[in-house]
Structure 1
Amino acid sequence: MYMSHSIGILRAYVNALVYFKNIESSIFSLQSNSRIEAYSKHAKIYIGKFVFIRKHTSIRVDQHGELRIEDKVFINDNCHINCAHRISIGRLTKIAPHVSINDHDHNYKHLTGDHLIKGEVIIGENVWIGSNVVILRDTFIGDNAVIAAGSVVKGHVPANTVFLNKREKSYIPYAN
């Protein structure tokens, strides 16, 4: 166990060196097959103390994106964080396996010249995010909130609440 933690800290250090102009960090752990990628010299990544990122997690920051992960955040296996504008994850937040966090959508309607529609994702402190959750752009999750497994989250989740996404089939047509 101690060896895997040591190797994770070493992997994090190597990532911080590779992206030294993009990453500001303290001690954190990046387990096997996880990666942090900054796809622009303008991308900014802040990783606080004692952040633990498990296996097979992908963190990607594009363009002028700003990703901020505060102290003692735990990110479990197979999570994906895609940042093109701004994502903030508050301290003591726990993220279960297979969670996807995106601050942008693809502009499939082509209403503007940009190929992405950008927003923000702000996750408060001490938040628990269950397995297989998808968090979409323009989402604010308050402190101490719990996001139930399998939920799709967009909009405002008040502090000290449990968010449960009940699903019903619906179809929304759109014109090309």
Structure 2
Amino acid sequence: MVQGKISSKISQLSYSIYGRETSGFKERLYVYVSLIKDLTKGVLRVLNGKFRLRNCKSTGKLITVRGPLRVEGSGDIRIGDHCTIWSHMGVTQLFADRGAELIIGEGTFINTACIVSASNRIVIGKNCQIANQVIIMDGDFHGVDDREAPGKSDAIIIGDNAWLATRSMILKGVEIGEGATVAAGSVVTKNVAPYTLVGGVPAKLIRNLEVPKQK
């Protein structure tokens, strides 16, 4: 099984570099060196993840973190297996206040310079795609009229396989359905139905998306 995965990776690298299978010693050597570099990067990112996420309540297997991820707060942060978090071109921040929960499902990808801030509860489903500079924030931190007064907060739930495009913002009390897509730059203040595309400020329905056939 492992040998098959390595062979598949070598084939992918060959087509990525040369557009075909390798031929000749020099080409094969270059592909093998590239493979070793990729494997080394992967190991270092897993180790970086273990270090950056060391204070989380629970973390899954093979979480890879690229760059200086920032994790703060005394709340519960739980991250599932095989998640990928990038923080190399802009610092990604995960925050859970005291008594709050931040749960990230397995296989989810979070790109650079994102802010995920839980004052109440944020649940991100499995295999979600969160693009760079997305903000997910379930609380106001302070009032509008009285800025010394505490702000309101309400849970955010993001379903499996959702895609939040660049610089979108998800605000308190919102539920985003499975397979939904939020267009770039949108501000989501109301629930989003499963398998729909929304966009704008505030975000509104653009169209329905095709529901994938069950395997």
TM class by shorter chain equals: 0.7 to 0.9
**RMSD after superposition:** 1.7
Q: 1:108 aligns with which of 144, 162, 168?
A: 144
Higher-helix-fraction structure: 2
- Taking the aligned partners of 2:135 and 2:155, their CA distance within structure 1 comes to 14
1:123-159 deviations in Å (ceiling 9; x for gaps): 0010011001011001100001010011000111000
Max Rg structure: 2
1:82-137 deviations in Å (ceiling 9; x for gaps): 111100000010001110000001223249x8523111110001001100101100
- Taking the aligned partners of 2:44 and 2:101, their CA distance within structure 1 comes to 27
What runs of 5+ residues in structure 2 fail to find an aligned partner? 1-37, 203-215
SS at match of 2:94: strand
Residue 22 of structure 2 corresponds to which residue in structure 1? none
Residue 14 of structure 1 corresponds to which residue in structure 2? 51
- Taking the aligned partners of 2:201 and 2:172, their CA distance within structure 1 comes to 20
Alignment of 1:66-85 (within 5 A): 66-85=101-120
Letter of the structure 2 residue corresponding to residue 48 of structure 1 = G
SS at match of 2:51: helix
Residue 47 of structure 1 corresponds to which residue in structure 2? 79
TM-score, L = length of structure 1: 0.84
Over 4 Å off, 4+ runs: none
Highest relative contact order (Cα 8 Å, sep 6+), 1 or 2?
1
What runs of 5+ residues in structure 1 fail to find an aligned partner? 168-176
Using the TM superposition, give the Cα deviation of residue 58 of structure 1 relative to its aligned residue in structure 2, in angstroms.
0.7
Letter of the structure 2 residue corresponding to residue 4 of structure 1 = K
SS at match of 2:191: strand
**Contact conserved, 2:107 with 2:128, CA < 8 A, in 1?**
yes
SS at match of 1:81: strand
- Taking the aligned partners of 1:115 and 1:23, their CA distance within structure 2 comes to 26
Residue 8 of structure 2 corresponds to which residue in structure 1? none
Letter of the structure 2 residue corresponding to residue 163 of structure 1 = V
- Taking the aligned partners of 2:118 and 2:39, their CA distance within structure 1 comes to 31
Q: 2:197 aligns with which of 127, 152, 162?
A: 162
In the alignment, is residue 94 of structure 1 matched against residue 129 of structure 2?
yes
Q: 1:36 aligns with which of 71, 76, 83?
A: 71
Alignment of 1:51-70 (within 5 A): 51-55=83-87, 56-70=91-105
Equivalent residue pairs, number:
160
Using the TM superposition, give the Cα deviation of residue 3 of structure 1 relative to its aligned residue in structure 2, in angstroms.
2.7
Q: Which moved more, 1:2-11 or 1:131-140?
A: 2-11
Identity across the alignment (%): 29
Q: Which moved more, 1:135-144 or 1:26-35?
A: 26-35
In the alignment, is residue 24 of structure 1 matched against residue 58 of structure 2?
yes
SS at match of 1:87: strand
SS at match of 2:194: coil
Residue 171 of structure 2 corresponds to which residue in structure 1? 136
